[in-house]
Structure 1
Amino acid sequence: MDTPMAVVKRAYQAFGRNDIEGVLECIAPTVDWRIVGPASLPFPTQCHTRQEVARFFKELAADGDITVFEPREFIDANEHIVVLGFVRVTLTETGKPFESEWVHICTVKDGLLTRWIEFFDTAARVNA
């Protein structure tokens, strides 16, 4: 069985290739998948199943074109992995770009992601 770090890196590599099915294969059937921020953001802020996460990715893609997605640092704490990174997106609705550093907190159990929580500059997104 892969280490938690290997599972997380495999998911991020799949996302970097726009291989959403590859990401979904890394996620447990029941998951705590959250984006911390205001309800005014256009995508779900909490998902509980792999199917809801798939819908999140569709809504995320419709919201904008991710032009830069950089996981920059992976911090290993056994089954908990913290990922620090950067994103730049051109929004579909306005055509305006926004960028933000982000933090993802992941938990891996039995070789699958069971928790993924994102923190980013939501004000930058809302004001773009």
Structure 2
Amino acid sequence: MSTEKNVQVVKDFLAAMGNYNERDDEPDLLALVTEDIQWIIPGKDWPLAGTYRGHKELAALIKKASQEVDMKFTTPPEFVAQGDRVMVVGVAEGKIYATNKPFYDEWVFDLTIRDGKVARFKEYIDTQALARAAQKGASELAA
């Protein structure tokens, strides 16, 4: 696929993630990823950290994320692509539901496209800010 088409695949995937409704949209979202998708979220002391593989684990991750985090992407992301790789650079703000603490996260997503679908998704996120927001007890802004 062309680089432009790969960027469009990523845009479609991110739009589907942003509009995700568990009951109605799961089949549409999963249709945009390979059966063996690998999603990597680095860190520790952060409820979503880990490596998730396949449709079943991806669906569970998305459900868990919707229960753990209120997140808004506050600026339009930037897309940088070469071949089958697309990097997305952006900013997110939100709060962790369990602690009601806010966070500010500048991130980069590294996606690999295979046969017109997302095959690998690795997040480069501010794990420290998210871990601080997830900790019970501290009251400062996690930034």
Q: TM-score, normalised by structure 2?
A: 0.80
Amino acid paired to 1:26: L
Secondary structure of 2:105's aligned partner: strand
Structure with the higher fraction of residues in helix conformation: 2
Retained in 2: the 8 A contact 1:33–1:53? yes
Retained in 1: the 8 A contact 2:106–2:126? yes
After TM superposition, the runs of 4+ consecutive aligned structure 1 residues lying more than 6 A away are: none
Note the C-alpha offset of 1:71: 4.8
Retained in 2: the 8 A contact 1:16–1:69? no
Partner of 1:34: 40
Distance 1:43 1:88, change over 3 A: same
Secondary structure of 1:127's aligned partner: helix
Count of aligned pairs between the two proteins: 127
Distance 1:69 1:34, change over 3 A: farther
Structure with the higher fraction of residues in strand conformation: 1
Query: Aligned-pair RMSD on alpha carbons?
Result: 1.8
Amino acid paired to 1:100: D
Retained in 1: the 8 A contact 2:95–2:101? yes
Note the C-alpha offset of 1:69: 5.2
Retained in 1: the 8 A contact 2:43–2:49? no
Amino acid paired to 1:59: K
Amino acid paired to 1:64: V
- 1:23-61 Cα offsets, whole Å, 9 max, x none, are 3221100012101212x2212510110110110011111
> What is the correspondence of 1:53-72 to structure 2 with a 5 Å cutoff?
53-68=58-73, 70-72=75-77
Counterpart CA distance in 2 for 1:59 and 1:70 is: 24
> What is the correspondence of 1:46-57 to structure 2 with a 5 Å cutoff?
46-57=51-62
Larger radius of gyration: 2
Q: Percent identity?
A: 29
> What is the correspondence of 1:83-102 to structure 2 with a 5 Å cutoff?
83-102=88-107
Secondary structure of 1:42's aligned partner: coil
Q: TM-score, normalised by structure 1?
A: 0.89
Partner of 2:29: 23
